[in-house]
Structure 1
Amino acid sequence: MRKNLLAFLCACLLISSACSLPFIQLTQDDNGDQSIEFFSGIQTAFEPKPTATPTPSPSGRIDAADTALLAGQMDKAKELYQEAFQQSDDEKIRSQALYGLGRCYYSERQYTAAIDAFNRILGQYPSAEVVADTYFMLGQAYQQIEEYAQAADAYSKYVQLAPGVLDAYALTLQGDSAMSAGDFTQAIYAYQAALQADPPGDSSSLNLKIGQAYDGLLDLTTAIQYYMNVYNTSQDDYARATANLLTGQAYLKLDMPNEAYARFLDSAYQFPKAYDSFTALSILVANGVPVNDYVRGLVDYYAGSYDYAIEAFERYLATDPEDNDGSVYYFKGLSHYFNDEPRQAIIEYQTLIDNYPGNAYWTPAWDEIGYIQWVVLDEYTNAAQTYLSYVNNAASSPDAPTFLYEAGRIYERNGDLENAAETWLRMMNEYPSSDLSYRGLFMAGITYYRLSRFEEALQVFQRMLVLSTTQADKAKAYMWMGKSYLAQGDEENARAAFTSGQNADPTDYYAIRSSELLDGRDMFDIKDGFDLGYDLNYERPEGEAWLRTTFNIPAETDLSGLGDLQNNPRIKRIQAYWQISQYSQAINEAELLRAELQGDPLNLYRLMNYLLDLDLYQPAIYACRNILSLAALDDLTSLTAPIYFTHIRFGAYFREMIVTAANDYNIHPLLLYALVRQESMFNPFITSAVGASGLAQIMPATGKENVDLLNWPSNYESADLLKGEVSIELGAFYLSRMQKYLSGNMQAALAAYNAGAGNAEQWLALSNNDPDLFLEVIRASETQDYLVQIMEFLNIYQLVYARPQ
């Protein structure tokens, strides 16, 4: 049955491609027509085309320039805006061109030039459609050069000229600028208006700001009223701690110390994690106000003041307090650990373990000891025994399987593969219902394979197959069964296992590897021929016909525009944010709207197409996935939907930049597309929790290092990583560097891209140059998932775009 489905999928793809993809397309022009492209080594990305490219109109140049601006192609955007301005006498076109130039200058941090361009619009084209947006951008530019009064005035004019859409956002910026200018009365007006806007701004933040403005006017009584309103209504502990601090400071100015100390004490006792509570504590200590030493230690700990925390905890324990439940030893241990005193930390944790078995931190204390012994002290045997001792002492604990898994990991990292395999096997034997035990079983099989005990490895993988509950698990088991057979010289059974593996779930990583192993292909052995040419407008009718049939949408329902969504407030905000280059806010608003439309395929479809027109690809891709999920299509069967949807989910976005950078650094473009999709889902403005930014998710330090090597771009700052052109160029260069450094190994280069070259080198050494082992010996699950996703995305990009040459 699986073989039949695979054949059916392949046929569907071929038919969809034949019916929906014109094989030869025109060169991409400013009106959005597409092109045919082929990769061969580092050949030029764009081949000469037999058909002349039509000269774009001035309005077409504006559209193309807007697209270039969003992509961070500043030189191209400026050139197109200038051409549009020079080639048109139409005031609308000329004002739009000037507005675009001003935004380019702003993005390049040429704030004076931006201000000049914006003021030229206001002077020469006072009735232009872009005037309201011009005032907003003028406010942004004035803020950057610290002309706060002028910034506040510009934001005010934006709200007057474009009311009812982004009022709270612009009014908050107006208030902030007025505060910086010392105009507290205007700030109060702006913040209060933001509270009354539809939708209103964040009430806690705005009320705190209003209070600070009244504080600036020396109206401390009114300021306190606003602060306490936040304290009494907010659900955010950090906002409440800030309210307490500001209230207490206002009371001190009123010479009311008792009232002030009451607020500070409240923060210390209720919100010890907030840094404002540490400030409040410092004031209390400076004024000799007594504070419970355990509470004092907690506040110091969370603020990173570990010496003071340890001293406070010791004072607390010295009093032999009756309320000591043992938690103090856990936080004292953490304070010693972060104070580079690991052995003292272990003593504190052990005290908790020995004397307070019912404490909430009893299990975490075991974990902390094991971690310190392993990671800090390099005492691998002791660390493994700590985790195993926990299992012996708390065999029925829900954490026991996790601790067994950790013990196996520590044995493996110490090179003790025998004990690692035995420990991981215990998991399925002792905790068969644990979700982690299946993973432990797999790791036991991999460990036996590394020990060249292939028959035992095969038995474990066969057991995995019996216990598997998903097609992906089956694909993994079959692939490693095939590897184990092959290692024993049993090619017939190896091929049978690989065949079963590739049919289990053809979109899964392990199925892809089974297929490659069957064919004798190397990992990332990508055929050179590919064609990125497609026309969504040509394919859209087929997609709409499928949508109508699948979801019973009447023939008279218009799918060409937004329909009922046209008047949705979020649509208006998406458009407004986009027009003032606040692309991240536009994407956030799109995601909120998409969440509201989760069960509505009709309006998800309309939203998807609208977002594509704005080049906001990430939320468009998510909307597309939502539609396919509503049609009950999983990752495998979704490829049977019309090619229109696949081209949206796996689009050749930012084509000029990505193909050019790939060719420049001898990376296959389809691989670079897979990487960018994995890193950012084609959102140029995304920033990760650890600080990586842009389409290629470059860390600031990595960006600076590569900029120095390339000597490009000039006047670089980390904020430039949010420019698509910069991020793609640096990402391709960095991946190429890692590949060269790691002797041409692209798999290791991708691992280095995610986790660093040092880790990739270590994993290479452990894998004995076996690409399949390389994945399994990676010690960071995030990096394993990263490589798997890129391989799966690359497989789909090849299915969609590969063309025989």
Structure 2
Amino acid sequence: MGCRGWPGNWNRRRVSVGLTSYTPPHGHDTMPGMMDNTTTRSAPNRFSRLLIAVLLLTILAACNLNQQQTIIVTATPDVTPTFTPEPAPTETPPPPPTPTIDPALVLQTGDNFLLNGYYENAVSTYQTVLNQDAPPQFAAPAAFRLGQAALREGLFSNAVSSLTTLIDQFPQDPNRAQAFFLRGDAYLGLSEWSAAIADFQQYLTMRPGLIDSYVHERIADAQLALGQTEESFASYASAVAANRTQVPLLALREKVAQVYRTASRPADAIAQYDAILETAENDPYRASMQLAAAQTLLDSGDLENGLARMQTVFDEYPATASAYEAMQVLLANEAELSNLAIGRVAFLYGDYERAIEALNTHSTEYQLDAIPAELHLMLGRAYREIGNSDAAVTAFQTIIDQYPQDPQFGEALLEQGRTRFLLGDIPAAIERYLFIADNYGYLAETAAEALWRAGYLYGTNDSPTESRQVFERLANEYPDTDQARSGLFLAASAAYNLNEIPRAEQLFSRLAATSTGAVQAEAYLWVGRLALQQGDDARAQEVLRLAIEAAPDGYYSARAQDLVENRAPFEPPASYRFQFDEATELATAEDWLRQTFGIEQEGALWPLSAALQADPRLIRGRELWAVGAFEEAEAEFTALLDAYRSDALSSYQLAIDLRSLAAYRFSIIGAANLITLAQQGTLEVPSYIARLRYPIYYLDVVMRVAQEREFDPLLMFSLIRLESLFDTYATAAAGEKGLTQVIPGTAEYIANQLQWPNYKHSDLFRPYAGITFGAYYLDEQLDRFENNVPAALAGYNAGPGRALDWLRLSGGDPDLFMTTITIDSTRSYVQLIYGFYNIYRALYGEP
């Protein structure tokens, strides 16, 4: 077998759009060596398959003596990444049987399987070490890690067996206490509650004061399952009394309150809800807890205090769903409520019929001067929601006629125009908006918004000349408003639609002169593009460099840089570099830290300070991470990073320390906090720090899928970074999971295409699975859009149908494509990945 060098054929995926002639435009900081993505994922049971993997590792190590090596960041704490040869993705004939295998190499292979999510493979690999009677320095970690891998795979009996081996045979091993915790979790998985309790209690004896709250909670859960109710209450009380970060503590109190409610102990449940209310700040959450407390009292027969709490929810949190639920209870118990308050709560909840009834009733009960303008505004909007536009206009007109000095006056004017727009009467809407601008100029915010809406409606209804004129008027009359800046861009776009190139350039230049940040960068980008179109290369270069400087890490800077270098969007580098002189670059980074932040500390800066080492959030987080309690650990790390976000040195130290744990998301956040404090762009700081913010974790997996599917691996890293920040356990509201955040429906489709056996959506929490699924779908979009990467990314995010429509409207021009995307989140998605990709190319690409 020949030695495989670094891929050089990624140009098959070069973006095809390039810098074509214009068509008219519109106006928040991750392989198996033994299987491919269509074969079974079950662990290899034959010893020869492990020998294949180990032999391949050995061969690659020898081959790479004179080549670059793949950086694989392991979960073993270290200052810099550990360099591990990449397991080959193809099968080779098995070698002759060998009496023993180097246990260090086998452990390394198992660690790679464990990190990448091949848990069954990891179990088999670690078992090999145990089967060959390896020395204790290898057998003990193999038993411990086998337990970790088996737990993640759900092989609870295997986990119990291997952890028992460690506990019984290696009594001096430093991981023995954690082995008791892990075995306790395995017993929970087997519903062996008493055994679990015993192991957790043993852990507390051996390592008291670290994560006591989380351990007592597990003990209480097991006791409750055994029917030991009183004992569970005592354990839950111990869990609450021990230390944990605020957010998980609130969640624990909520859980304990529910347990007390189920056990008919309302006073204890109320005590937990009240403790939550003492510290919680989020209004919807506070409302839900107050509502739960109220319902607890009502269920216990305490009508008076229960209704009093319901009244509190109704009065103090009218914009929440809990307020509407409380209102229903109060009305059912014949409580006296103001019709105005009923109307407000019903309107905010979306019960427009009830809102209209209550608001109209209130208006008949009081004189006009006692009725707030807010009532008529809500009444008009509610009528509009149920389709009664005439009544809506009348309600808004009441404010205009009767409340000329009220703060709601300007809003009522705009709502009349919006009502006509929603009816589809665009000319009447435009007429109303222009009437507002002509007659109510003293209401600057209202008039500016009216002009913007009029200009926008002209522009989206085939009247570019009128659109440009209105937007120019807006910029002249209200130059310091956000509407004016947006209008200037749309006016410039309208001028371009009319082929009025000099006027378009003038307007874009004016926008650049009156704005900052990304808006300024976008304006300079367009000025530069117009200069290129007219053949004025010197002017174009000058202005494009201003775009680069205006927002260094953003999309417009990245796009301008591509134009300066005459480079197509997402054009891959000639080659890749994933090996660096880490020691030298670390020293350079720490010199920069001293100079930038005035740090006088002598010696290496990366080791954790005494304050960080003693911080209970870090102590708890690291211990929780070690025992696989990742969700709980993440809560601790989040609180820790937030506490030190204004401390540059601590952010740097945490970025390195958390990387060593494979807590990648939090390492990236620490690095981002550091760069933000430096007030520099990512590519302006030392590359060692920049790579902390834009890492290449799971490199072996990404390189495998990139080679299989023939696309640029840096594109995959950019997508993973945006989707999940390399958090393999990431989950979003629509059910997206894993490194590439594939939604359930799409994941089922991909699993069928890959013939993935026994697919479960939780499979995507495995790094290799998340990457494999995301790569498949990305590759499908790249094929569909003929390697037009921006369009493929839009299809990945919003669906291929929409992306096809946007691509047709843009005529294939990459900058116009961005303007045709009608979903703001999708436009931002594509632009962010564009910016990320350019940073990755600068950090890891060779010219």
Q: Same fold (TM over 0.5)?
A: yes
Question: Among residues 772, 790, 808, which one is paired with 1:747 in the alignment?
Answer: 790
1:69 equivalenced with 2:114 (yes/no): yes
1:396 corresponds in structure 2 to: 443
Q: What's the secondary structure of 1:561's corresponding residue? A: coil
Question: Among residues 815, 831, 836, which one is paired with 1:788 in the alignment?
Answer: 831
Matched-pair contact (CA < 8 Å) for 1:29–1:56? no
Matched-pair contact (CA < 8 Å) for 1:332–1:348? yes
In structure 2, distance between residues paired with 1:139 and 1:389? 73
Q: What's the secondary structure of 1:524's corresponding residue? A: coil
What one-letter code is carried by the residue in structure 1 that aligns with 2:695? Answer: G
Residue correspondence of structure 1 range 323-722 to structure 2 within 5 A = 324-332=371-379, 355-356=402-403, 377-385=423-431, 387-388=433-434, 391-392=437-438, 393=440, 395-398=442-445, 400-467=447-514, 469=516, 476-487=522-533, 490-491=534-535, 493-498=536-541, 500-502=543-545, 505=548, 509-510=555-556, 512-514=558-560, 516-517=562-563, 521-534=567-580, 536-537=582-583, 539-548=585-594, 556-559=602-605, 561-564=607-610, 565-631=612-678, 633-635=680-682, 637-638=684-685, 641=686, 643-688=687-732, 691-712=735-756, 714-717=758-761, 719-722=762-765
Matched-pair contact (CA < 8 Å) for 1:502–1:510? no
In structure 2, distance between residues paired with 1:132 and 1:338? 61
In terms of mean alpha carbon deviation, does 106-115 or 191-200 score higher?
Answer: 106-115
Q: CA deviation at 1:448?
A: 1.9
User: 1:260-288 CA deviation, whole Å, 9 max, x = no partner?
Assistant: 33332332223334444444443333344
Unaligned 5+ runs, structure 1: 1-20, 38-42, 48-54
Q: CA deviation at 1:579?
A: 0.7
Matched-pair contact (CA < 8 Å) for 2:414–2:446? no
Which TM-score applies when normalising by structure 1? 0.81
What one-letter code is carried by the residue in structure 1 that aligns with 2:529? Answer: K
Residue 265 and residue 346 in structure 1: after superposition, are their counterparts in 2 closer, same or farther (change >3 A)? same
Residue correspondence of structure 1 range 112-191 to structure 2 within 5 A = 129-137=174-182, 140=185, 155=200, 157-175=202-220, 178=223, 183-191=228-236
User: 1:188-240 CA deviation, whole Å, 9 max, x = no partner?
Assistant: 32333233323576666555555555555545455555555655776554555
Matched-pair contact (CA < 8 Å) for 1:611–1:617? yes
What one-letter code is carried by the residue in structure 2 that aligns with 1:525? Answer: E
Unaligned 5+ runs, structure 2: 1-63, 75-80, 93-99
Matched-pair contact (CA < 8 Å) for 1:91–1:128? no
Matched-pair contact (CA < 8 Å) for 1:25–1:34? no
In structure 2, distance between residues paired with 1:427 and 1:60? 70
What one-letter code is carried by the residue in structure 1 that aligns with 2:715? Answer: L
In terms of mean alpha carbon deviation, does 354-363 or 281-290 score higher?
Answer: 354-363
What one-letter code is carried by the residue in structure 1 that aligns with 2:539? Answer: A
Residue 536 and residue 307 in structure 1: after superposition, are their counterparts in 2 closer, same or farther (change >3 A)? farther
Identity over aligned residues, as a percent? Answer: 28
| Number of aligned positions between the proteins | 763
In terms of mean alpha carbon deviation, does 673-682 or 118-127 score higher?
Answer: 118-127
Residue 680 and residue 252 in structure 1: after superposition, are their counterparts in 2 closer, same or farther (change >3 A)? closer
What one-letter code is carried by the residue in structure 2 that aligns with 1:424? Answer: F
Residue 785 and residue 436 in structure 1: after superposition, are their counterparts in 2 closer, same or farther (change >3 A)? farther
Residue 433 and residue 281 in structure 1: after superposition, are their counterparts in 2 closer, same or farther (change >3 A)? closer
In structure 1, distance between residues paired with 2:282 and 2:582? 46
1:52 corresponds in structure 2 to: none
In structure 2, distance between residues paired with 1:80 and 1:290? 70
Q: CA deviation at 1:576?
A: 0.9
What one-letter code is carried by the residue in structure 2 that aligns with 1:77? Answer: A
In structure 2, distance between residues paired with 1:709 and 1:370? 50
Q: CA deviation at 1:156?
A: 5.0
In terms of mean alpha carbon deviation, does 24-33 or 73-82 score higher?
Answer: 24-33
What one-letter code is carried by the residue in structure 2 that aligns with 1:650? Answer: Y
Q: What's the secondary structure of 1:398's corresponding residue? A: helix
In structure 2, distance between residues paired with 1:330 and 1:123? 73
Residue 464 and residue 614 in structure 1: after superposition, are their counterparts in 2 closer, same or farther (change >3 A)? same
What one-letter code is carried by the residue in structure 2 that aligns with 1:586? Answer: A
Q: CA deviation at 1:388?
A: 4.7
Matched-pair contact (CA < 8 Å) for 2:73–2:83? no
Residue 367 and residue 222 in structure 1: after superposition, are their counterparts in 2 closer, same or farther (change >3 A)? same
Which TM-score applies when normalising by structure 2? 0.77
In terms of mean alpha carbon deviation, does 144-153 or 510-519 score higher?
Answer: 144-153
What one-letter code is carried by the residue in structure 2 that aligns with 1:730? Answer: F
Residue correspondence of structure 1 range 55-134 to structure 2 within 5 A = 58=103, 62=107, 65-66=110-111, 68-90=113-135, 93-94=138-139, 96-109=141-154, 129-134=174-179
In structure 2, distance between residues paired with 1:66 and 1:570? 27
Matched-pair contact (CA < 8 Å) for 1:71–1:684? no
Q: What's the secondary structure of 2:801's corresponding residue? A: helix
Residue correspondence of structure 1 range 15-30 to structure 2 within 5 A = 24-26=67-69
Q: CA deviation at 1:67?
A: 5.6
Residue 345 and residue 156 in structure 1: after superposition, are their counterparts in 2 closer, same or farther (change >3 A)? farther
Q: CA deviation at 1:578?
A: 1.4
Residue 150 and residue 287 in structure 1: after superposition, are their counterparts in 2 closer, same or farther (change >3 A)? farther
In structure 2, distance between residues paired with 1:154 and 1:273? 47
In structure 2, distance between residues paired with 1:353 and 1:170? 63
Q: Note the aligned Cα RMSD (angstroms).
A: 4.3
Q: CA deviation at 1:701?
A: 3.3
Q: What's the secondary structure of 2:831's corresponding residue? A: helix
1:15 corresponds in structure 2 to: none
In terms of mean alpha carbon deviation, does 600-609 or 227-236 score higher?
Answer: 227-236
In terms of mean alpha carbon deviation, does 601-610 or 209-218 score higher?
Answer: 209-218
What one-letter code is carried by the residue in structure 2 that aligns with 1:164? Answer: G
In terms of mean alpha carbon deviation, does 573-582 or 773-782 score higher?
Answer: 773-782
1:11 corresponds in structure 2 to: none
